[in-house]
Amino acid sequence: MTETASKLIVVVLDGLRYDAARKYLGYMEHLVEQGQLSCYKVQSELPSLSRPLYEVLLTGTPVSKNGITANHIVRLSREQSVFHLAVAANLRTAAAAYHWVSELYSSAPFHPVADRHQHNVLKPIQHGSFYFEDHYPDSHVFADAEFLRAAYDPHFLYIHTMNIDDAGHRYGGESKEYEVAVRRVDGLLATLLPEWMEQGYTVLVTADHGMNANGCHGGVTPAERHIPLYTFGEQVLSPEQEIQALPQLRLAPLMCHCLGLQPSAAMTTEGLPPFVPVVPGQEENAKMMKLNSLA
């Protein structure tokens, strides 16, 4: 690892359906109009539930393989996540996320007092701030993440918010309250994304699942499965991939690509450029090879 290694911020907006993102994330859509962001439709894996999809997002493995089949399965992941791969490559990792993420990649079960803040460079998530109430304000989650970014300078920063999902369960995925929660997140991203962009981060903004009008998810309907993926940084997906929904299994290897990591053997590399290993002292050559492979 060198100080010129790539840096990635992944933002997961829990419960954000694709159509709501395209209608209510005004700042993000402004960047799409200006050609600074791309937005893709992603189809989530099944079941379209949170804990199983946290594992899908970070390991690129389906539920039938990873065994995280439902929200009540509380144990550490048995797969190689992006966190594991990053630490193995001597990259720094951090997360400001719901406590289920800690239970998958740090320690399980979660103890609210002891596990709220975690710092252990030997674990997959080396620096973590974990919350345990669904109504914990999204503004606080982003503030937690910014503290971790400033204090520990992670190469891989994972940010996961819950207020959109909470509003959806309480009032439905087509309610005023759900819309307001989405619009509030847009304001938070409008505050932070310009700084991240200026500092050269690759940024991915996505969701785990959607939300139907009755405040439910877990099933197969488009409202429950179709979610957005906003990308900022080097071009990582071809324009024709905007036409149809991308499989959610591609997001973990996409994160690896953005970090310059070899995906795990369990991850698909379909649709991604060839992996280009970075040799110390030859970072610029590797970057040019990656860009040429995308041309």
pLDDT tens track for 160-219: 999 999 999 999 999 999 999 999 999 999 999 999 999 999 999 999 999 999 999 999
d(CA 58, CA 83): 8
pLDDT at 288 over 50: no
SS (H, E, C) 251-267: HHHHHHHHHCCCCCCCC
Tokens of 277: 């290993």
Residues 6+ apart with CB under 8 A from 280: 2
Residue 273: what pLDDT? 65
> What are the Cα distances from residue 75, in Å, to 47, 56, 103, 160?
18, 15, 6, 19
Per-residue model confidence as pLDDT tens digits over 192-208: 999 999 999 999 999 99
pLDDT at 283 over 60: no
pLDDT at 240 over 90: no
Residue 41: what pLDDT? 97
Maximum pairwise Cα distance, the chain: 55
Task: Note the CATH architecture for domain 8-292.
Answer: 3-Layer(aba) Sandwich (3.40)
Residue 4: what pLDDT? 59
Residue 294: what pLDDT? 41
pLDDT tier for residue 291 given thresholds of 50, 70 and 90:
very low
Pick from 250, 281, 254: nearest CA to 5: 281
The pTM of the full predicted model, rounded to 2 decimals, is 0.91
> Mean pLDDT, the chain, as a whole number?
91
> What are the Cα distances from residue 13, in Å, to 40, 137, 162, 280, 294?
15, 12, 7, 35, 28
Residue 239: what pLDDT? 55
Classify residue 174 as exposed, middle or buried by CB count within 10 Å of its CB (0-12, 13-18, 19+): middle
Mean pLDDT of 101-110: 98
